[in-house]
Amino acid sequence: MLVMMTTIAGIDLSLKQSLHTPPWAYHHRGEVWFVGCCLLLVLGSSLALVPSKAVVVGAGVFCGGLLGNLLSASADDLTVPNPFLIGHPAGIAFNLADVSIVTGNLLMMTSFCYIVICNRERLRDRNAVRRVFVAHLRRATRSERLSRRP
C-alpha cells in the first residue's frame, strides 16, 4: 500500500509541475481541509490491516491522491493546481490526485460491499433491528396512552 500511495503521489506531483495550469484552475484550500485530509490519510492508511487485497489497493489509491494534494498544497501556500481541464473557465478543473481519491473510494466501497455480501451469514440477525424498533414503538405508544388517562 505504501508503494502504491507514494507512486501515485509522485506521478501526481510531477504532472502538476510539468503541465501548464491556467490561473483560474488553481484552487485555494483552507486549514480545515488540510487537517481533514491529514486525518483521512491516517485513517485510510489503517485500512492496510483489513484482510482484503481489494480494500488495500483501494486504500492505497485513495491515500495516494490525498498525499499528492496535501504535498502540493503544502508546497504552494495551500493552493492546488488542476492541470486537467474540461471546458473553459466555467468548466471543470482537476488533477490526478482528485481522480485517484474518487477511484480509490469507489474501489474500497465496492470491495466492502462484496465482503459484506459474501459474509452476510456472519452478520447479526437481520430481524433483531426490527424487533428492537417494534419494542421501542410499543413502549412509546403505551407510555403515551398512560399519560392521556385522567
Contact by Cβ (8 Å): 26, 81: yes
Domain count, the chain: 1
Residue 143 has pLDDT above 80, yes or no: no
Residue 94 lies in a domain: yes
Region for residue 87 given its phi and psi (left: phi exceeds 0; alpha: psi -120 to 50; beta: otherwise): left
* Domain assignment present for 28: yes
What percent of the chain is modeled with pLDDT above 70? Answer: 87
Residue 137 lies in a domain: no
Position 103 in a domain: yes
Per-residue pLDDT tens for 96-134? Answer: 999 999 999 999 999 999 988 888 777 766 676 677 777
Q: What is the pLDDT of the chain when averaged over all its residues?
A: 87
**Model pLDDT, residue 8:** 95
- In 3D space, the residue among 11, 3, 72 whose CA is nearest the CA of residue 37 turns out to be 72
Q: What's the pLDDT tens digit per position in 21-36?
A: 888 888 899 999 999 9
Question: Is 40 part of any domain?
Answer: yes
Instruction: Tell me whether residue 130 is in a domain.
Output: no
- Answering whether pTM is above 0.85, one says no
For residue 26, what are the β-bridge partners?
81
Q: Quote the domain boundaries for residue 44.
A: 2-123
Q: Which residues of 115-127 are buried (b: 16+ CB within 10 A; e: fewer)?
A: eeeeeeeeeeeee
Query: Which residue from 112, 133, 137 is spatially nearest to 123, judged by alpha carbons?
Result: 112
Secondary structure in 3-state letters for 86-140: ECCCCCEEECHHHHHHHHHHHHHHHHHHHHHHHCHHHCCCHHHHHHHHHHHHHHH
d(CA 65, CA 97): 4
In a domain, 11, yes or no: yes
Answer whether residue 135 is part of any domain: no
